[in-house]
A and B are shown apart, each in its own frame.
Chain A
Amino acid sequence: MDLNTVKYLADLSKLEYSDEKLAKTADEMTSIMELMDTIKDIDITYDAHKDNHNVFLDGIREDTVMPSMPTEKVLSNAVNSKNCFVVPKVVE
C-alpha cells in the first residue's frame, strides 16, 4: 500500500501520523492486505435476502415517551461542559 493511500485513509479516519510512522504503517498495511486479498481466490456472491435474521422484529415495544438520561449525566464526561458540549468556534 503506497504512502498516498495510507495518507488518504488516515484523513478519512480523522487520524494523523508523523512521516516516519506513516511509512511504517504503509509497510504493515501492505502485509495485512496481502492476507486480506486471499478472499479474492474464491468466486462467491453475497445474497442480501438471506441476511438480517439476527434482528428480531417481533414483540417490539410500544412507541411511548420514557425518561431519558438527565443532562448532567450526559455531560458528566465532557470537558468544558456548561450545560452543553463546548467545541472550538466554527463560525466567525
Chain B
Amino acid sequence: MDISKMTVAALREALDKKELSAKEAAQSYFDRIEKYDGELDCYITVTKDKAFEQAEKAQKRIDAGEAAPLTGIPMAIKDNICTEGVKTTCSSNILENFIPPYNATAMEKLDSQDIVMLGKVSMDEFAMGGSTQTSAFKKTKNPYDKACVPGGSSGGSAAAVSADFCAAALGSDTGGSIRQPAAFCGVTGIKPTYGRVSRYGLVAFASSLDQIGPVAKNSLDCALILNAICGNDHHDRTTALDAVPDFTANIDKGVKGLKIALPKEFFAEGIDDDVKSAVMKAAKDYEAMGAELVECSMPSLKYAIPCYYILACAEAASNLSRYDGIKYGHRTASADSYEELIIKSRSEGFGDEVKRRILLGNYCLSSGYYDAYYRKALALRQLIRKEYNDIFDECDVILTPTTPSVAYRPDEKVDDPVKMYQADICTVTVNIAGLPAASTTCGYNTNGMPIGMSVVGRSFDEATVLQVTNAFEKGFEPVKPKL
C-alpha cells in the first residue's frame, strides 16, 4: 500500500479498517517531505511534533469508532490561514515571526474533526501573484517540471498535493489562486461561493473576493473537505445562513441532461491552442455522457482584468494599512518618530509586488480618480454578474479553460506585472461575481504538463460543480509527476 498516493476517501477507509494508523499515515508524508521537498520548496513550516500529537488524538477517536470524515487525514495549510501557536507568515517578511493567538474558523472546523496538520505551505506574498515566486521564503517549483512555476497564489498547496506531500490542502482564492495552481500542478481545487466559508482568520487581501477552499487529488476529496469547512460564522457577517448540503450526496449523478455553457470569449485569441483543444475535447466527452453543450457569450470579459485589479488592489491597500510595525509583524530596528516607525517597518517588510498593488489601490481610490477607476470597476462588477446570471438562466454550469497556458518558466513572465495580471483572464470573473468554480485536469500538453478546465456554477451550487468535474474524472486517467 503506497499511503502517500491515496485519496482522502481511500485513507478514510484504510484508517477505519485499521489497515494503517493515523501515525503511519502522517509518517509516510513526512518521509516524502524530507526526501523531496528540498527540490520543490512547498513547506515553509513543518509541524512534525504537533502532527504526531494530533495523530495520537485522532487514533483514539478512530479506535472508539467515532471518526469524522477527516479524522486522521494528513493535510497541509496555506500560510495565510491562521493556526494558533504555529507561524503564519503569508510568505512575507512583515509576518516572518507572526504566531497567531487564534485559529481561523476553517482551521477550527478541521481541528474539530481531528485532522493531522503536516505544516504550512508557501504562497505568493499576501496571496498576490500567480506563480508563488513572490514568496519571501519558499519559491515553490512545479512537480511536473521543476524549471516551471506551480502557479499561485496557493502554489505550495497545489504542488504539495501533486507531489504527495499531503493528502489534501487548504488554499485561498481571490482571483484564481486555488484553481490556477491546481491546473498547473495537475490536481483538483474548488473556490466556494463567496459567503460559503468563513474568512475569519484568513489574512485579508481583498475582502469582497477572498474565499478559502480545498485542493485535493479529486472532486470527491474536495467535497469531503468542503463539507467540513463551510457554514455560517458569527465572526464573519458575510457567511451565508443557508444550511450546508452534503456535497458528496449527488457527486456520482453524472451529467446527463445538464446544460453546459461554453462562452466563446474564453476560447478566443490569447488562449493557447493546446489548452483550447483539451478543454473542447472534455466538452465533447460531456456531450457523449449526455450533457447538452450551449454556445454563449460574455462580452464583458475584455474588461475583467482591470475590473479585478482595481477592486482587489483598492481593498488590499485598505486591508494592508493595518501593518504598522506596532501591534504585530516586522518592526524596524530604529525609528525616531511614530511616522518613521510605520514607514520603515512597511518598506522593509513588504515585497515589490505587494507594494505595487498598494500603490495601485491607493491611486484608484484617491481624490479625482475614484469615479474613473474604483466606481467604474464596481459598475463592471454588476455587469459581469448580470452576464453570468443571463447564462445561468439557460444553463446549469459553464465550462472554460482555467489558464491561458500551461505552467511556464519564471523568466517568461514573473518580472513583468502586466503579463502576470493578464494571465488571470480565465479565473477572475468568478471571484468578481462571487460564484463557485472548480478546476480539474482535462489533459496534458506534448511536454507532459497538465491542462486544467474550470466548471463554474450558480451561486451556492458547489454540489453541481463537483458533480460535473467528478463525472469527467471518472473516465480520466491522471499522470502523476515523477520526482
In angstroms, Cα B237 to Cα A13, docked, is 28
Q: Are B418 and A35 in contact (CB under 8 A)?
A: yes
- Judge whether B375 is part of the interface by a CB distance below 8 angstroms: yes
Q: Are A32 and B417 in contact (CB under 8 A)?
A: yes
Range of interface residues on A (Cβ < 8 Å): 35 or more
Please give, as numbers and ranges, the residues of chain A lying within 8 Å of B342 by CB-CB distance. 14
Q: Are B240 and A56 in contact (CB under 8 A)?
A: yes
Interface residues of B in 325-380 (CB under 8 A from A): 325-329, 331, 335-338, 340-344, 346-347, 350, 355-356, 358-360, 362-364, 366, 372-373, 375-380
In angstroms, Cα B355 to Cα A5, docked, is 15
- Judge whether A39 is part of the interface by a CB distance below 8 angstroms: yes
Q: Which of A5, A12, A15, A85 has the most CB of B within 10 A?
A: A15
- Judge whether A90 is part of the interface by a CB distance below 8 angstroms: yes
CB contact between A77 and one of B317, B327, B358 (< 8 Å): that residue: B327
Q: Which of A10, A34, A59 has the most CB of B within 10 A?
A: A10
In angstroms, Cα B382 to Cα A37, docked, is 18
Provided the pairs A47-B382, A78-B328 are in contact, do residues A39 and B310 lie with their beta carbons within 8 angstroms? yes
* Interface of chain B: mostly helix, strand, loop or mixed: helix
CB contact between B328 and one of A50, A58, A77 (< 8 Å): that residue: A77
Please give, as numbers and ranges, the residues of chain B lying within 8 Å of A78 by CB-CB distance. 326-328
Q: Are A56 and B238 in contact (CB under 8 A)?
A: yes
Please give, as numbers and ranges, the residues of chain B lying within 8 Å of A60 by CB-CB distance. 237
Please give, as numbers and ranges, the residues of chain B lying within 8 Å of A39 by CB-CB distance. 303, 306-307, 310, 373, 376-377, 380
A56 CB → nearest B CB, Å: 5
Q: Are B417 and A31 in contact (CB under 8 A)?
A: yes
A7 CB → nearest B CB, Å: 10
Please give, as numbers and ranges, the residues of chain A lying within 8 Å of B194 by CB-CB distance. 54
Please give, as numbers and ranges, the residues of chain A lying within 8 Å of B364 by CB-CB distance. 36
Q: Which of A1, A51, A59, A88 has the most CB of B within 10 A?
A: A88
Q: Are B341 and A29 in contact (CB under 8 A)?
A: no
Interface residues of B in 52-108 (CB under 8 A from A): 97-99, 101-102
Q: A52-92 vs B: 1/0 string, CB under 8 Å?
A: 00111011110000000100011011110000010110100
Please give, as numbers and ranges, the residues of chain A lying within 8 Å of B208 by CB-CB distance. 54
Closest 6 CB pairs of A and B: A77-B328, A46-B379, A73-B101, A44-B379, A79-B331, A36-B306
Q: Which chain B residues have a beta carbon within 8 Å of chain A's beta carbons?
A: 97-99, 101-102, 194-195, 208, 232, 234, 237-241, 302-303, 305-307, 309-310, 317, 321, 324-329, 331, 335-338, 340-344, 346-347, 350, 355-356, 358-360, 362-364, 366, 372-373, 375-380, 382-383, 417-418, 421-422, 434
What would 9 A/B residue contacts be, using CB atoms closer than 8 Å? A1-B363, A12-B366, A13-B346, A25-B356, A36-B306, A46-B379, A56-B195, A87-B341, A88-B335
